[in-house]
Amino acid sequence: GESVGLHLPTLSVQEGDNSIINCAYSNSASDYFIWYKQESGKGPQFIIDIRSNMDKRQGQRVTVLLNKTVKHLSLQIAATQPGDSAVYFCAENNDWGKLQFGAGTQVVVTP
Amino acid sequence: DSGVTQTPKHLITATGQRVTLRCSPRSGDLSVYWYQQSLDQGLQFLIQYYNGEERAKGNILERFSAQQFPDLHSELNLSSLELGDSALYFCASSGTGDNEKLFFGSGTQLSVL
């Protein structure tokens, strides 16, 4: 069935380095993608989104890349900081009202 | 702070019981969504309401029900609780201008003993 999945369950990154979190999606009809960050004890927090008519979008220290050919989404975090330690979810919204989440990637920032 | 308020933060109850989770959306948001987050299932969409009407349904059990009131707050009712219902339940809301971007509350941690 349709699914959104993450390649790496845990990503360990040294403080100051760049992080790359990957996500694969299977539904080619998906036209909107979102990255969320979830810190311990908190709800998912919106980071950045991208529509299928774009292949790159930048925010503050974050960049999302979309490759529709291989159905792949990535989140790049520049100069990773301790506060970036969290679980990151990609999600697709191809059916209004049904935001479908991937399994999540735990990012651990080491000093 | 997302602006979405959920109560209670923690709930401990026994099997067979019934509980009600409450959510107040961001000011002005008409859509409310409920999600369940468990370790083995991840974040699962349960149900969505828009301006008081049910809009979309996900993997919500028949033992569960929800509603959205005229003041736009929503309640999720879980009945005949089982051990497997233990999870984090999140409410999210979105506005009319950007319906696809959801803002989540801090969740209710439900423990069924």
List, for residues A45-95, the tens digit of each pLDDT value.
999 999 999 999 999 999 999 999 999 999 999 999 999 999 999 998 866
Amino acid A95: pLDDT: 66
Residue listed under structure tokens 């000011």? B27
What is the distance between the alpha carbons of residues A52 and B77, in angstroms, rounded to a whole number?
Answer: 36
Give yes or no for residue A97 having a pLDDT over 80.
no
Asked if residue A12 has pLDDT above 80, the reply is yes
> Which residues in chain B show pLDDT less than 50?
99
Do B46 and B38 meet the contact criterion of CB atoms below 8 Å apart? Answer: no
Å from A46 to nearest chain B CA?
7
Proportion of chain A above pLDDT 90, given as a percent: 69
Instruction: Pick the more confident residue, A6 or A40.
Output: A40
Using CB atoms within 10 A of its CB, is residue B10 exposed (0-12), middle (13-18) or buried (19+)? exposed
Residue A5 is predicted with a pLDDT of 46
Handedness of CA B1, B2, B7, B10 (dihedral sign): negative
Kindly state the average pLDDT of the residues A17-28: 91
Q: Do A49 and B48 touch (CB under 8 A)?
A: no
- Neighboring chain A residues of B107 at a CB cutoff of 8 Å: 42-43
Q: Tell me if chain A has a CB within 8 Å of the CB of B92.
A: yes
- How far apart are the C-alpha atoms of A101 and A93, rounded to whole Å? 9
pLDDT band at A1 (very low <50, low <70, confident <90, very high): very low
Task: Give me the percent of chain B exceeding a pLDDT of 70.
Answer: 95
Optimal mutation site among B9, B10, B44, B45, interface A, most CBs of chain A within 10 A: B45
Omega into B8 within 30° of 0, i.e. cis? Answer: yes
Beta-sheet pairing, B108-112 with B10-13:
parallel
Among A110, A64, A93, which residue's Cα sits nearest to residue A4? Answer: A93
- Is the model's pLDDT at A4 over the cut of 70? no
